[in-house]
Amino acid sequence: MDKLRSLHYFAAAAETSSFSAASRRFGVSVAAVAKLVGTLERELGIKLFERHAQGLVLTAAGSAYLETCLPALEQLAAADEQASATTSRARGTVVVGLQPVIAQEVVTAALPRFAALYPEIQLDVCYFMRPSDEQVRGVDVFLVMGWPQAVGDLVLRPVGATGFVVCAAPAYWAAHGTPRHPSELEQHNCICIRSNNGSVMDLWRFRKGEERVAVTASGWLVVDNVHRDMARDLAIAGAGVVRVLDWHKRQGREIASGALVPALTDWAMTDEVPPVNMLYPPSARRIARVRLFMDFVVQLFRDIEQQREVRTPATQIPRWAIGRRPRASASVRGRPLTSSATPDGPPR
């Protein structure tokens, strides 16, 4: 058995929850991936995956084995990259499709570091909100937040996740009072954002211990996802309450500077955690400059994950996103919420 290859297949299958996605990454058949992973299971004498209709799920033994293997695989990849860099330098253009929210909150600040590492690679960044068949042509890699639908034969690789935190300006909390329970948000002006699929994300879910609360946020303003910076800026100006993405231990620059102050910090918002995904053509990893950018992004989000205060994995697509409802609150048990705060579990 090719042990190293089997470990690569195993790690890719674990990351993508799919033998087929792993096979596309390496340009081999699904049967080849399944065979080597099966051989690895027999050699180890443990079951690495549970097979479900929704995809592969790591067993406890498989998760422990993966955690042990990943550092070695990463060190080997780094050694390969360093060795190849001594004989040739990657150059050329990488075309990147980048959603504004990922650009503004994560990627932009990291790009000078990439340029310093690879000065002969030029990045051509394109705006988009949802990948489509027309946009796929000519783009090497997309970065997408949420739960995108499959487009063509693009490989979808989750690279990170982020939660939410409820914030407002200090002056707003001073004037209106800081909520101690999520249900108190019904007394506040909540600025809501409309998702890429057209649903107003007004269903804010909270959890503390065994208690779960779903709040229908409402206020005088709803903005499209592309204008989420408008919601943030208005909140900084004291106009209302906003739910912002929680990347780095709640250390975003607005919170770190005191322009926004989190509330309900003893409650977790973990029932709808959007993933950050990398989408790319199957052949992309065979192009050195594209592979270098992809690996840089993977490490970037891996570093963010290590810093997150509440490290929760991305959740499955919520009901409101599947049904394309005009408001997320309409998805609770198939009907709108009749009160502002309703105990409820995550969507099934």
Q: pLDDT for 13-53, tens place per residue?
A: 888 888 988 888 888 889 999 999 999 999 999 999 998 87
List CB contacts of 177: < 8 A, sequence separation 6 or more.
184, 187
Does one domain contain both 221 and 322?
Answer: yes
Over the chain, what is the mean pLDDT? 82
Dump the DSSP string for 203-232. EEEEEETTEEEEEE---S-EEEGGGHHHHH
3-state secondary structure of 96: strand
Phi-psi region of 212 (alpha: psi -120 to 50; beta: other; left: phi over 0): beta
By the 8 A CB rule, do 215 and 204 touch?
A: yes
Residue 113's pLDDT band (cuts 50, 70, 90): very high
According to the model, what pLDDT value does residue 318 have? 74
Same domain, 327 and 214: yes
Same domain, 192 and 219: yes
Collect contacts of 49-54 with beta carbons under 8 A, ≥24 apart.
Answer: 49/13, 49/14, 54/17, 54/316
49 and 135, same domain (yes or no): no
The answer to whether residue 67 scores a pLDDT higher than 80 is yes
Same domain, 224 and 332: yes
For residue 257, what is the DSSP state?
Answer: T
Q: How many CA atoms lie within 13 A of 133 on its CB side?
A: 1
**3-state SS, one letter per residue, for 137-178:** CCCCEEEEECCCCCCCCCEEEEEEECEEEEEECHHHHHHHCC
pLDDT score for 59: 92
Which pLDDT score is estimated for 45?
93
Amino acid in the structure at residue 122: Q
Residue 333 forms part of a structural domain: yes
pTM, two decimals, is 0.65
Confidence of residue 148 (pLDDT cuts 50, 70, 90): confident
Measured on CA atoms in the order 111, 114, 116, 121, is the torsion positive or negative? negative
Q: Does 290 lie in the same domain as 157?
A: yes
- Residue 120: count of CB within 10 angstroms of its CB: 10
Pairing outcome for strands 141-145 and 275-280: antiparallel
Which of 37, 62, 85 is at the close of a domain? 85
Task: Write out the residue range of the structural domain in which residue 139 sits.
Answer: 89-162+274-307
Identify the pLDDT of residue 336.
39
Is the domain of 299 the same as that of 266? no
Please check whether residues 198 and 247 belong to one and the same domain: yes
Determine the pLDDT at residue 134.
61
Per-residue pLDDT band for 298 (boundaries 50, 70, 90) equals very high
Say how many domains are in the chain: 3
Over range 90-96, report the average pLDDT.
89
Would you say residue 149 has pLDDT above 60? yes
* pLDDT for the residue numbered 215: 92
Residue 162, φ and ψ in degrees, nearest 5: -150, 150
Our separate counts of H helices and E strands in the chain read 12, 15
Q: 151 near 279, Cβ under 8 Å?
A: yes
| Of 85, 117, 141, the domain-final residue | 85
Does 347 map to a domain? Answer: no
Q: What is the model's pLDDT at position 343?
A: 36
Q: How many CB atoms lie within 10 A of CB 85?
A: 14
Closest CA to 272 of 160, 184, 347, 165: 347
**124 beta partners:** 95
pLDDT at 337 over 50: no
* 233 and 337 part of one domain: yes
By CB atoms closer than 10 A (0-12, 13-18, 19+), residue 331 is buried
pLDDT at 250 over 80: no
Is 37 among the domain residues? yes
Q: What percent of the chain has pLDDT over 70?
A: 84
Amino acid at 121: I
